[in-house]
Amino acid sequence: MLEETWILKLGVLSAEMGICISTVSSEIQDSGDGHENMVFFEDSTASIGIQRLGSLHSQPGSKGLNQDAAILHQGYGMEDGAFCGVFDGHGKNGHIVSKIVRNHLPSLLLNQKNALLKANTAMKGEDLHTQKERRDGMVMPNKIFRKWQEACVGAFKVMDKEIKLQEDLDCSCSGTTAVVIVKQGDDLVIANLGDSRAVLGTITENGVTAVQLTTDLKPGLPMEADRIRKCNGRVISLKEEPHIQRVWLPNEDSPGLAMSRAFGDFLLKNHGIIAIPDISYRRLASNDQFLVLATDGVWDVLSNSQVAGIVWSAESEEEAAKAVVDAATAAWKHKFPSSKVDDCTVVCLFLQKRQQVLQACNPPS
């Protein structure tokens, strides 16, 4: 099977892809359902205290193969670190591309970051924890986390090149989105390609509030459309779906990609589709509770606030991702009964034990 050829485990050396995996991790079954679309890792050195504060779940839609993939790697980069990612494949080989990226991007990113740090050992005597306040009160990232941002750009570029080099894998019109969060202590680096999305759940006096961490990168965004048109790509919607802008070749009515950035899709790479992620930084606050990453199958039918509420009211951290997927699947059937349900995939990472927070908010009388 071609798919089996390309789905490579994290933690092995892949000579074919030229990617050396140097992190030592152990794979853990996420929910016992055997879905190959999901991988849950804990670093072998991670302490008990940071384990199992997350969940991930993927439900195939009614369009055929589940082309989504997801990963949650706790202990990534440091003990109190994590790598969260969801990847929504599209096209004939999208299910293969999403898993290739899921399996190899974490190690590529870590290797890129470590290489950048080694190349900048001249930072002698610098306090790596010194940060600058912006006028809006947000904390600017220190140089260590600027290196993470540089590493994201480098790793995404290398990942895209490696996909293109694969023999017997046609990605001219196949590819995947990627939304990734690297957590290092209280620092988040968020990298995004395409229309998957990441949301932060935070507690306010009005209850749980959703803060969107990424922008859905679609052709309809002025900045994205401008880049595509400057590269002679066309941004046009179909008559039967005027609300969806798609990317087309200059002189052909194909392929009609509904996102402006992606891995793969090499037919459009000379016409404005790029694999350079939109990168942002956020410093976590004490009232921040959880992160949710999901493919557009979820966001097409549930709002950020609805998802945050479902996660916060889930029976346990382990059930949170499944609760969101179940709600999204039900919403698809209710809102679009005649449409095919999209694949729905969710990763949830809790930033602190929810039960302890609930007890603190509602002390016994």
The DSSP line for 224-287 is HHHHHHHTT-EEEEETTEEEEEEEE-SSS--EEES-SB-EE-GGGTTTT-B-PPEEEEEE--TT
Q: Which residues is 182 bridged to in the sheet?
A: 83, 189
Lowest mean pLDDT, pick from 42-46, 112-116, 230-234, 346-350: 42-46
Lowest mean pLDDT, pick from 59-73, 134-148, 158-172, 199-213: 134-148
Q: How many helices (H) and strands (E) does the chain have?
A: 8, 17
Q: Which amino acid is residue 211, in one-letter code?
A: V
How wide is the angle at C-alpha 320 spanned by C-alphas 47 and 341, nearest 5°?
135
Residue 46 pLDDT > 90: no
Q: Work out the percent of the chain whose per-residue pLDDT is above 70.
A: 78
Give the separation between CA 88 and CA 93, rounded to whole angstroms: 12
When computed from its CA atoms, the radius of gyration of the chain, rounded to whole angstroms, is 20
CATH 3.40.50.12280 fits 2-122+132-209+279-361, yes or no: no
pLDDT averaged over every residue in the chain: 83
Q: Supply the pLDDT for residue 18.
A: 34
pTM of the entire predicted model = 0.84
Q: Which amino acid is residue 244, in one-letter code?
A: I
Q: In what order do the strands lie in the sheet containing 344-350?
A: 54-59, 344-350, 288-294, 197-204, 207-212
Q: Supply the pLDDT for residue 21.
A: 27
Q: Which residues is 85 bridged to in the sheet?
A: 71, 180
Residues sharing a CB contact under 8 Å with residue 59, sequence separation 6 or more, in sequence order: 66, 325, 326, 328, 329, 343, 344, 345
Residue 223 pLDDT > 70: yes
Grade residue 348 by pLDDT with cuts at 50, 70 and 90. very high
Residues sharing a CB contact under 8 Å with residue 307, sequence separation 6 or more, in sequence order: 199, 210, 292, 294, 298, 299, 324
Give the separation between CA 327 and CA 312, rounded to whole angstroms: 14
